Amino acid sequence: MEIKIFDVDRGFCAVVITDDHRTILLDSGYSHTVFRPSQYIVQKHCNSLECLIVPAYTEEHLSGFADILNQSLEHCLPIHFYLANPSVDAEKFPGLQRLNQRFKNALAFMSDTPPGVGSTQVMKIDDVAISFFWNNYSEFQDADNLSLVTFLSYRDINIIFPSNLQTAGWLSLLKSPQFCDRLRQVNIFVAANHGKEDGYCPSVFDYCKPEVIIVSNELEQPISPRMMQRYQSHAYGSPLGVSHKKLLTTYDEGTITITKYLDRLRQVQTQLQDHKNTAAQFLEFEHINLN
């Protein structure tokens, strides 16, 4: 199995390819010059999208889905499951409203959990287990704290994607014993809200002891030194050969890929995009000339 967390300018984007070559798309963030998820899926010759997960409801996250819908129609690319926070009033979020007009939100039909703290649902695709948690619209009206939190598990990979969740949303979900149990299993933690301070909740790490923490930076903004120090203090490091760092950011590392092959240990690798490689080489060249 492979998980790619892309270096994007707007929003967030991750693609999961299961061991049976099924494709899961999590969010629709893009880079203006280098990367768009719709183009990536077509270039990779995906026959269908098993899941389209819509975890955040701000304009920067929802804007990319229009392109995915257009590509889906143009290339006859079926989307089997569309998943978003079922409690959200889609009319309040135009990008989400368009998706709801085209697809039925699977979580609205799957969930037998009554509205309350930490509503949840679980689905399985091949050997990949995906758990969803969300706060309800009756308790939060801001888009960030209504983010759909996604846990993905496959063998020795246990990763959380909390999207744009902020501190108040974390504290609400921590009232759920199920949510806390899932946090205890996490070994790869994706920082909420692009590693910004308002997405940080220290109480999460009373339960979660990750090996690696990943930050998807927005608009190529580096993580602040203060947040860098905080997150590094919560990362425990991984076994030899899994990851070369405890804290990885798309700003510094580019696209981050998590793989699991047969019975080998999970592996976390990075790849700078061409324009960043060029910039890095140029800076190195300038440094040599100056010296």
DSSP string computed for 58-112:
SHHHHTTHHHHHHHHHHTT--EEEEE--TTS-GGGSHHHHHHHHHS-BHHHHH--
Mean pLDDT of the chain: 89
Least confident of 24-38, 51-65, 174-188, 268-282: 268-282
The number of distinct structural domains making up the chain is: 1
Provide the pLDDT for residue 44: 86
Q: What is the pLDDT of residue 72?
A: 87
Distances in Å between the Cα of 170 and the Cα atoms of 82, 147, 156, 167, 256 are 24, 10, 25, 5, 25
**Quick check: 94 pLDDT over 90?**
no
- pLDDT at 277 exceeding the cut of 70: no
CA angle 201, 206, 210 (to 5 degrees): 85
Cβ atoms of residues 5 and 26 within 8 Å = no
Q: How far apart are CA 262 and CA 256, in angstroms?
A: 20
Mark out the alpha helices in the chain (DSSP H runs): 37-43, 59-62, 65-74, 94-102, 106-110, 167-173, 177-185, 225-234, 250-253, 274-290
| Residue 260 confidence (pLDDT) above 70 | yes
Q: Which tokens sit at 10? A: 């707007």
Here the CATH number for the domain that contains residue 237 is 3.60.15.10
User: What is the rounded end-to-end Cα distance, in angstroms, of the chain?
Assistant: 45
Q: Highest-confidence range of 39-43, 131-135, 282-286, by mean pLDDT?
A: 131-135
Q: How far apart are CA 70 and CA 234, in angstroms?
A: 41
Q: Is the pLDDT of residue 290 over 80?
A: no
- With a cut of 70, say whether residue 82 has pLDDT above it: yes
Range of the domain at 180: 2-289
Residue 147: Cβ within 10 Å count: 30
**pLDDT over 90 at 54, yes or no:** yes
When mean pLDDT is compared across 30-39, 98-107, 190-199, 260-269, the lowest value belongs to 30-39
Of 201, 200, 153, nearest to 181 by C-alpha is 153
Predicted local confidence at residue 282, as pLDDT: 32
The residue among 33 and 103 whose pLDDT is bigger is: 103
